Amino acid sequence: MSKGFTADDVSAQTGRTFLVTGANAGLGFEVSKVLAARGAHVILACRDAAKAEAAIDRIRTDVSDAKLSFQPLDLADLDQVRDAANMVLAGPRIDVLVNNAGVMIPPRMLTKQGHELQFGVNHLGTFAFTGLVHRHVDDRIVVTGSIAHRNGEMDYSDLAASRSYHNWARYQMSKLANLLYMFELDRRLGAAGRATQAIGCHPGVATTELQRHLPLPLRYMTPLAAPFFNSAAQGAWPTLQAATGAHVQGGDYLGPQGLGEVSGRSGPARASRAARDPKLARELWERSVALTGVDPGL
């Protein structure tokens, strides 16, 4: 019986191209570093050019012959998402798109188009970018979820959180949206006869920059709890399995195998009943098309 997937299980990726969103820090950085070490060409799709170039330099410190490039991408601005997609479509085909970028429990903020930031970046930006480039992706589209999705509820009556805002509830909703989208995307790709598959993953609880918006007491406690969590490198294992694992199938959902899926090696993860509801997923898809102006044509 398999003990679970780690970075050591990532096979040679020479000749393959991966685009990783939010690749300059945390899980995205660790995923990019491992893929580069296995010979892949990794496109780091990031909002901040200086941070992306710094990340490229850090990877090349460990992987001297790394094949890396930078793609500007700001998921909080749908106009820029379209610009980025056009640049990607003008370049080489992509084997795997890794949708990793996200925000977690910030104060209430809005995207350029007026969407609540967490739903706007974590779901709508991901939906729009993927919808524009999916025909350019040959193998897999990875969508990053969270164990937080299990308590998520879609609040279509106040998507912009203009009446009330609770950062955790909105984060949970955005992560439920990620999984609803992943399952629906895989269904639609299959129905269209596409070889490309959609796969979900979550990192458990990993110590990354996403936690910078935690309340101060919890931020001070994080180092004490760190031995029970995944490091960023360990949190990247489910993403690496989703992107490269030999026995992964479309619609799979992967995460840590430890107690509560908080930490440990990667393997099958549990998605909530709501996340697997095809009716909810179809409604989210239709609303996402309306909100982004992007129809993936699936």
Return the active site residues: 171
Centre a 10 Å sphere on the Cβ of residue 50 and count the other Cβ atoms it contains.
9
Give whole-number Cα distances, 171 to 33, 124, 165, 178, 298, in Å.
Answer: 27, 13, 11, 11, 27
Phi, psi angle pair for 16, to nearest 5°: -105, 150
Residue 166 and residue 62: Cα distance in Å, rounded? 41
List 94's β-bridge partners, or say none.
137
Residue 173 and residue 74: Cα distance in Å, rounded? 21
Which letter does DSSP use for residue 121 in this model? I
Sequence-distant (6+) residues with CB within 8 A of 296 are 130, 131, 132, 134, 185, 188, 289
Residue 18 and residue 43: Cα distance in Å, rounded? 6
Kind of pairing, strands 137-144 and 94-99? Answer: parallel
Residue 183 and residue 187: Cα distance in Å, rounded? 6
